[in-house]
């Protein structure tokens, strides 16, 4: 059972890392907006296209990712309990908890910034919202990928 819990937790975070990787690759032409919303390296037409693509999935992906991450959190808690709350399992939980606290503190505002801004509206808010959402996706990718790596280490050291 212990191995199954670890396997399922690892699968949750691997799935999440895959989704965040796809989002990151879709956003690659506008990565420069993460640091500078006025970056000349991001063409306005491409910015609007990517913004429109994300608006199409913005009501579908967040609930899927929240369910995946919540399921992963429950499994990490169960894994820690089954491991007797040893140091490694607690460190994984702590790392995940800190990353999620940061993500959840900015999630709604960044989703709303894209969702409520028309892609064909003023370019400033479109660029700002898209850059902030791309940065959020990178934090999500870091969180999911790093927990996946920690889970693999946990599984290999058991």
Domain ranges of the chain: 2-156
Q: At residue 49, does pLDDT exceed 90?
A: yes
Positive or negative, the CA dihedral 66, 58, 98, 25 is positive
Q: How high is the mean pLDDT of the chain? A: 97
Q: At residue 39, does pLDDT exceed 70?
A: yes
Q: At residue 1, does pLDDT exceed 70?
A: no
pLDDT score, position 158? 84
Q: For 121-150, what is the mean pLDDT?
A: 98
b vs e for 87-108, b when ≥16 Cβ sit within 10 Å of the residue's Cβ? eebeebbeebeebbeebeeebe
pLDDT tens digit string along 83-112?
999 999 999 999 999 999 999 999 999 999
Give dist(CA 18, CA 11) in Å, integer. Answer: 10
79 within 8 A of 89, measured Cβ to Cβ: yes
Name, in order, each residue with C-beta under 8 angstroms of 136's C-beta and a sequence gap of 6 or more: 103, 106, 107, 110
Q: For 1-11, what is the mean pLDDT?
A: 91
Q: For 143-156, what is the mean pLDDT?
A: 97
Give dist(CA 60, CA 70) in Å, integer. Answer: 16
């Amino acid at each position: 059972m212990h191995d199954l819990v670890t396997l399922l937790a690892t699968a949750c975070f691997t799935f999440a890392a895959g989704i965040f990787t796809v989002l990151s690759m879709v956003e690659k032409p506008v990565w420069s907006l993460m640091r500078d919303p006025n970056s000349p390296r991001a063409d306005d037409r491409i910015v609007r296209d990517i913004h429109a693509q994300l608006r199409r999935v913005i009501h579908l992906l967040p609930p899927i990712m929240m369910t995946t991450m919540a399921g992963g959190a429950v499994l990490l808690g169960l894994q820690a309990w089954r491991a007797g709350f040893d140091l490694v399992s607690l460190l994984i939980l702590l790392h995940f908890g800190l990353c999620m606290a940061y993500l959840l503190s900015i999630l709604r505002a960044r989703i709303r910034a894209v969702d409520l801004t028309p892609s064909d509206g003023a370019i400033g808010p479109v660029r700002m919202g898209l850059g902030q959402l791309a940065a959020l996706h990178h934090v999500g990718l870091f969180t999911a990928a790093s927990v996946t790596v920690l889970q693999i280490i946990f599984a290999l050291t058991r």
